[in-house]
């Protein structure tokens, strides 16, 4: 399977003490990442109004009920049919142009804090999502993830065929975690995993520190039976309000803020110098520094 490496780490550099595996939808962000882009896809000419309404309904049901195995299969069939024939580059361009507008307000503050904590502890951060790679990889880069495992649609002549090359779902997520552990030297018994869905029980069982986040009914029951820790995330926060996240986007924000402060300081100093010079000339007095 294709695993996107987003950060610095090379397979030969096995310095990470472990990894933290995060589901994306309703674990890091409050909605379905793919359905959240329905409006930009409509504005870009990829969806019609009927499809937007169907996506909105699917988003509502996803938020209300979560997604068991049957619902995920229906979602997979719906999304693959919806994007059949779409130009891949158009999708990537739309996601890149609207990423911060769409995703920033949806990110849970508690998830961002966990990501920062794991990074500070030296662990790799891995996002494992059943949403499409064209959506998940930019989000992963924005969040400072080291790797992304996501669903990959089949492509022919620059367009989606409607077939799926790899579906990041259920046991496939757990297998991806095992493959990454072997490649990067993670001890899975020391690794962490976070998800909201019972469909991710195989992933949670693969690590030593599983966590149920905003769990659906099935996962809540499994967590109670196995003694897994249950977390409640309920504070979506705009990422632009947080410049501490270890990502290229946040570093760019920090640099921009610093540059703005320096520019403001220089401008203030220059204005003060001009005022002193003007006053000195008017009073014919020597200037002192």
Give the largest Cα separation in the chain, rounded: 87
The DSSP symbol for 222 reads H
Whether 146 is catalytic is no
* In 133-167, beta strands by DSSP E: 147-156, 159-166
Active-site residue identified among 10, 25, 70, 109: 25
Active-site residue identified among 23, 124, 146, 216: 23
Helix, coil or strand: residue 87: strand
Query: Roughly how many angstroms between the first and final C-alpha of the chain, as a whole number?
Result: 67
Q: Token pair of 198, please? A: 């019972």
Q: Token pair of 207, please? A: 């690590």
Whether 68 is catalytic is no
Residue of 8, 19, 20 whose CA lies nearest to 186: 19
Helix, coil or strand: residue 123: coil
Which residues does the annotation mark as catalytic? Answer: 23, 25
């Amino acid at each position: 399977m294709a695993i996107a490496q987003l950060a610095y780490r090379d397979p030969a550099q096995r310095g990470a003490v472990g990894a933290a595996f995060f589901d994306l939808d309703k674990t890091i962000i409050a909605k379905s990442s793919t359905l959240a882009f329905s409006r930009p896809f409509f504005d870009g000419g990829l969806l019609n109004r009927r499809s937007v309404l169907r996506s909105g309904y699917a988003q509502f049901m996803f938020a209300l009920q979560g997604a068991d195995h049957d619902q995920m299969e229906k979602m997979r069939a719906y999304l693959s049919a919806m994007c059949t024939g779409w130009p891949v580059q158009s999708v990537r361009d739309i996601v890149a142009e609207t990423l911060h507008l769409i995703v920033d307000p949806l990110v849970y503050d508690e998830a961002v804090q966990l990501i920062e904590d794991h990074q500070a502890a030296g662990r790799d951060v891995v996002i494992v999502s059943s949403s499409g790679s064209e959506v998940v990889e930019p989000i992963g880069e924005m969040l400072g993830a080291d790797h992304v495992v996501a669903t990959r649609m089949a492509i022919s002549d620059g367009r989606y065929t409607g077939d799926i090359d790899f579906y990041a779902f259920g046991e496939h997520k757990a297998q991806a975690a095992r493959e990454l552990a072997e490649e990067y030297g993670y001890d899975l018994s020391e690794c962490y995993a976070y998800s909201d869905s019972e469909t991710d029980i195989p992933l949670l069982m693969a690590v030593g520190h599983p966590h149920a986040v905003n769990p659906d009914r099935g996962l809540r029951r499994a967590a109670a039976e196995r003694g897994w820790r249950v977390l409640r995330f309920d504070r979506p926060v705009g990422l632009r309000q947080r410049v501490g996240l270890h990502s290229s986007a946040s570093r760019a924000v920090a640099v921009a803020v610093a540059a703005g402060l320096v520019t403001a300081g220089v401008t203030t100093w220059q204005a003060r110098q001009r005022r002193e010079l003007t006053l000195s000339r008017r009073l014919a007095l020597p200037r002192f520094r």
